[in-house]
Amino acid sequence: MSTKIERKSIEFYKHNIDEECIAEFNSVAKNLFITTGPKTAEFEKSFADYLGMPFCVGVMSCSHALHLSYRALGIGEGDEVIVPAFTFVATATAVMHAGAKPVFADVDYRTGLLDPDKTEAAITEKTKAICPVHMYGVMAPMRRLSKIAEKYGLKLVEDAAHCIEGRGPDFGPGSLSDSATFSFYATKNITCGEGGAVVTRSRDIAEKIRTLRNHGMTKSAVERHGTKIPEYDVKQIGFKSNLTDLQSALLIPQLNRIKKRLSRREAIVKRYNNGLSDIKSITLPVIPHGYKSAYHLYTILVAPPEKRDEFMTALMESGVNCSINFRPLSHFTLFREKFGMNGKDYPAATRMGYSTVTLPLYPSLENEEVEYIIETVITAAGEILSG
Ligand SMILES: *Cc1c(COP(=O)(O)O)cnc(C)c1O
């Protein structure tokens, strides 16, 4: 490392839970209802409003949101769902939890978004749904994908774990699909540690997921609370996946300040883009024309891929904590053994998956930390990467 700059230690991510969130949490902790009650209803309404969607159901994770979406859509045994070959494992395993088979399609190199042509080519008579992922906060080409879904009579379920704030030219998460699923995991743009949500245009799907998230019971705890002997029915096997009032208390203040935090992340991304644009061995993230990113992750691609781990180690040793988002699904034994997945069949996913390095990106990142990260990346690229 260059001697002129002092070593810093920079976390990969710092969450946004501040004093206001903690005050809300403390207040809810004193309420009668700490499980799913009025605070969760308030969060669901605010989240739906923010997205301009009619229905939102809070669940325990995005993985559950995906799984319950497939259940609500009647997708299961004998069915196939097309997912990108480049994504987080939960996109594929949620399909498996529903009893269906994930079928992989390659992505667009650089954006990492599901390729509509590859998607159409992967359709069989068993295909029931397509699950695009809004990688790093940029929406997948939903217009083209929804046309394909319509043509073949398929459902469309969005993995919008990265994309609360991202928008397409004339669409947002949930507006062209059967359901869009979100994550409030510890490193996501708003968080309550673990949590998730489904938004949908369909009252029927929302109601089905509301029942499925709570043991399949036809009435929730709030609805059963009162002076009469509680009566409810169970018509199908359900799950335990309801977002609680304690979690919603942490989420509401973060949702209220989401625009401010988005603009801070955008400013950091601009600085990264300027500071790193001259390095030939590094490919910067791209946002297609007309799209607005949620700026969830700032993920660069390094060349050659064989040097990725050495490069990351150098950054970490200099105090810049970074991450891999993501390895290609073909990297994992589960998908290779169960579905005979081979990285050679998905060249863009494979090339991206072995080249990604995600740099820190969160509102509380200081300007001088951003400058330090840029310096560190330039130095490490010069020493380790090609060109
Ligand atoms: C984080 C993430 C998930 C899973 O979210 P959980 O809330 O942890 O279940 C799914 N898909 C993608 C693309 C993710 O990044």
pLDDT per residue as tens, the chain (387 positions) = 555 568 899 999 999 999 999 999 999 999 998 999 999 999 999 999 999 999 999 999 999 999 999 999 999 999 999 999 999 999 999 999 999 999 999 999 999 999 999 999 999 999 999 999 999 999 999 999 999 999 999 999 999 999 999 999 999 999 999 999 999 999 999 999 999 999 999 999 999 999 999 999 998 888 888 878 888 999 999 999 999 999 999 999 999 999 999 999 999 999 999 999 999 999 999 999 999 999 999 999 999 999 999 999 999 999 999 999 999 999 999 999 999 999 999 999 999 999 999 999 999 999 999 999 999 999 999 999 985
* Cβ of residue 90 lying under 6 Å from some atom of ligand 1: yes
* Cβ of residue 373 lying under 6 Å from some atom of ligand 1: no
pTM value > 0.85: yes
The answer for residues whose C-beta is within 8 angstroms of residue 338's C-beta and 6 or more apart is: none
Q: Whose C-alpha lies nearest to ligand 1, atom 14?
A: 161
* Cβ of residue 112 lying under 6 Å from some atom of ligand 1: no
- Distance from residue 32's CA to the centre of ligand 1 (Å): 31
Q: How far apart are CA 24 and CA 45, in angstroms?
A: 17
Catalytic residue annotation:
188
| 8 A C-beta contact, residue 214 and residue 238 | yes
Predicted confidence at residue 387, as pLDDT, reads 58
Q: Which atom of ligand 1 is nearest to the CA of 159?
A: 11
Predicted confidence at residue 227, as pLDDT, reads 77
- Distance from residue 281's CA to the centre of ligand 1 (Å): 29
179-182-188 Cα angle (round to 5): 165
Q: Which of 60, 62, 83 to mutate to test the pocket of ligand 1 (most atoms within 8 A of CB)?
A: 62
The answer for residues whose C-beta is within 8 angstroms of residue 33's C-beta and 6 or more apart is: 39, 221, 222, 225, 245
* Cβ of residue 182 lying under 6 Å from some atom of ligand 1: no
Cα–chain center distance at 313: 26
Q: Whose C-alpha lies nearest to ligand 1, atom 2?
A: 161
Q: How far apart are CA 175 and CA 180, in angstroms?
A: 9
* Cβ of residue 115 lying under 6 Å from some atom of ligand 1: no
